[in-house]
Each structure stands twice: as structure tokens, then as C-alpha cells.
Structure 1
Amino acid sequence: MIIFDFDQTLVDTSSVEHLRATRNWKAVMARASQLPVYEGVNNLIQELHDAGQTIAIVTKSPDMVPKAFIKAHSWPIAIVVGYHHVKNRKPHPEGLLLAMSKAGASPSETYHVGDQPQDTEASRAADVIAVGSAWGCTDTSELEVSKPDVLFSSVAELREYFVAELGLED
């Protein structure tokens, strides 16, 4: 199973960060269709799905924005855990554990891809493989200090990792 964070991992949401900070979700949704998906994400999601991987999104935000992207881009993702699905947001592992429970996945076969130290901390607490995604970060120092199991600066590097780890077609 592959669990992705959403903001700054799959989609560049930096242009609406000020709206997210004030919880102006209506304005975020109004701009959602204009937010760019990182290069290679659409193909990677499809390749992971085609290889039989269950894919989920666990976000500290409401689930409506990821669900809009899933619909708009036809992403094969059925599991989305937003902040209102859990009592404890990341770095607490509750969201990851809920996603794994819904998928019937074990920690030893689960990867969590995220761009924040809180993602690494949640991965450790859930006993899953912590994958750092630095491609959406302007400053990677805190992510590096959190010591994810692996750290990548591009979606292409992450794809190559999954080719080796999961046997994706190269």
C-alpha cells in the first residue's frame, strides 16, 4: 500500500496556503482546479494502481480538495482520510492506521510519502516505511533532519525507487 500526503506532495498548493491557514475552504475549492499536479504524479499513480498497489491519501486538511483532484484526474484512489475523519492529526498515526485498516494492509507493506517532518513522525509511529518527498519544499532541512527512510527530490526518483522496490515496469 502507498499512502500519500496531498499538499506539496501530489499537488502544489502553495498558492492557496494563506487560505488554508485561515480555513477558508470555500476559496481553496474555488481555486482547486487551477492548482498544478507535480510532474510525473499522474503517471506514477496510474502505474502503482496497474501494479496492484492500493493507493490512499492521508491529509491534515479536509478531504474535499483531494477528492476533487481524484475526480478531475481520474486517479484510482478510493481511500482518502482527511482531518475530520480522525481525532488526532499528523504527526499522530491515526490517519495512517485508518487508511491501512480500510485497505487491509499491514505496516510492513506500507509506504507513506510526505513532505513534512510530521509525515516522517507519523510513519515511525505507524511502523511504516517513511518516504520523504522534497520536490515541493523550498527548504528541505527540517525534512532531512526528520530522517525518513528514503528521501527524493523528484517524482521521477520516487518512481525509480518503486520500480526497484515493487517491481513496477521500467
Structure 2
Amino acid sequence: MTGAVLFDMDGVLLDSREAVLATLAGIATAALGRRVAITDLPRAAATTPRTEVLAGLGVRNPDALCATWWDPALATAATALFPGVLDGLAAIKDAGIATGLVTLQKRGRLPWLLPPGVLALLDVTVCREDAAPKPAPDGVRLALARLGVGPAEAVFLGDTPGDVRAALAAGVTPVGAGWGYAGAQALRDAGAAVVLHDPGWIGPGLLGHRVTAPAR
């Protein structure tokens, strides 16, 4: 029996890849004084620490620049929910199952990254400032503690090997989001119990994976 479904955000609920790449390219352009296009970024830029990407492009003091420019640049870049996310979350809630978000994003970004309708369907949100980042299991454990749900009663839907490792370390069933950053094979290799291939399956796919409201 599963009493909670936890989600990563970027690459799972939110299609933010192009926004992250555009933000990296914009900061590099402003810092270097020459045009840096998304196509100039390294192939793994979306999944590499941003300061590492910027330093590799020749940007000096990338930490300081990101502290100043990252949020304004990201806020103006285009992000969108993956199709089916809102309906899937609503179906999970309608089934009487708790929901939670465990993300590396800062809490202050959530109101302008996620629509109010999605935030209203999340019972708990654990952000960067709340716990050690994944693949550490701390955020997953904190979300479950706040929900009052045991690890054996929960699943975690993530799109990177780090998400899978965090779930496994917390004793939670890891489910892969094959449409996200890492891809289905990387999620299987990391130990995902099952990989969903379409965000439209968030509701039925998770509900079908032994995700049911706990007996009362």
C-alpha cells in the first residue's frame, strides 16, 4: 500500500531544459561580451553544475555572477508543465494519496516556476534550503516525515540517477520519468523499479504501480 507520491520538479513536472540552457547562454554572453548561443554550450550543459559550465566557457567568478543574474534570467525564460501533469496530480489526489515535491530549486522560485494549480495539489514541498541535495536521501525522508508516511508506503518519481539513488537510500520505491533529463536507460541502470515514458501517465502509471491510499 502506498500513501504518498513524491516528485522531482525539473524534467518531471516542469519542462525547463531550454530555459536552463537559455539562462546559461545569456549569463555567458553578458559576462564574456560576445554572443554565446545555446548551441555553443557543452552537450551535457543541462545536467552539469552551472558554475562548471560557465567556467568552462571562460566566465570568471561564475558563483558570484549566478548569485546576481541566475534568478532574473531564469524568470524570463520559457518554462511549461509537461502535458498531462496537472491531470495526473489531480488523479493522485482524488485517490486519497498524499503528494510532495523534493527539488533542488530554491523555495522562492516555486511561485514563478510552477502554476498555482500545481502548487495547490502538493501537500509538502522540500527545497534546496531544507535538506542536503539529492542523491542524499535527506529531502525524501523530510518530505515523508512531514506527511507522516513511511518509506514502504511511498514512491518517488524522478528523472535522474541521483533521484533514483535518493529514493533507494530512503527506502522508497523509485519510479523513473523517461521524458526527463537523463533518459530511460540511465534510470533503469540506476535501479528504477519501473520507468514511465510519457508524462500523461503520471496519474494512471503511478496509481497502477501499487499506489493506493493506505487502509484506515
| TM tier, smaller | 0.7 to 0.9
Q: Write the deviation string for residues 108-133 of structure 1: whole angstroms up to 9, x where unpaired.
A: 11110000000000011000010000
Pairs aligned (count): 165
2:30: which partner in 1?
none
1:56: which partner in 2?
100
The higher relative CO (CA closer than 8 Å, separation ≥ 6) is in 2
RMSD value, Cα: 2.2
Q: Write the deviation string for residues 88-143 of structure 1: whole angstroms up to 9, x where unpaired.
A: 21000000011011111100111100000000000110000100001124743322
Greater Rg, structure 1 or structure 2?
Answer: 2
Following the alignment from structure 2 to structure 1, what is the Cα–Cα distance between the partners of residues 156 and 92?
Answer: 14
2:126: which partner in 1?
81
1:5: which partner in 2?
8
- Which ranges in structure 2 are unaligned for 5 or more consecutive residues? 25-49, 52-65
Contact 2:5 2:157 (C-alpha < 8 Å) held by counterparts = yes
Q: Write the deviation string for residues 16-40 of structure 1: whole angstroms up to 9, x where unpaired.
A: 2233725412222233xx4121111
Following the alignment from structure 2 to structure 1, what is the Cα–Cα distance between the partners of residues 182 and 146?
Answer: 33
- Which ranges in structure 1 are unaligned for 5 or more consecutive residues? none
Match of 1:143 among 170, 174, 187: 187
Contact 2:88 2:201 (C-alpha < 8 Å) held by counterparts = no
1:29: which partner in 2?
75
* TM norm structure 1: 0.86
1:17 matched to 2:62: no
Q: Write the deviation string for residues 31-89 of structure 1: whole angstroms up to 9, x where unpaired.
A: 3xx41211110001111111111111101121233344152546411311111111x21
Following the alignment from structure 1 to structure 2, what is the Cα–Cα distance between the partners of residues 140 and 65?
Answer: 28
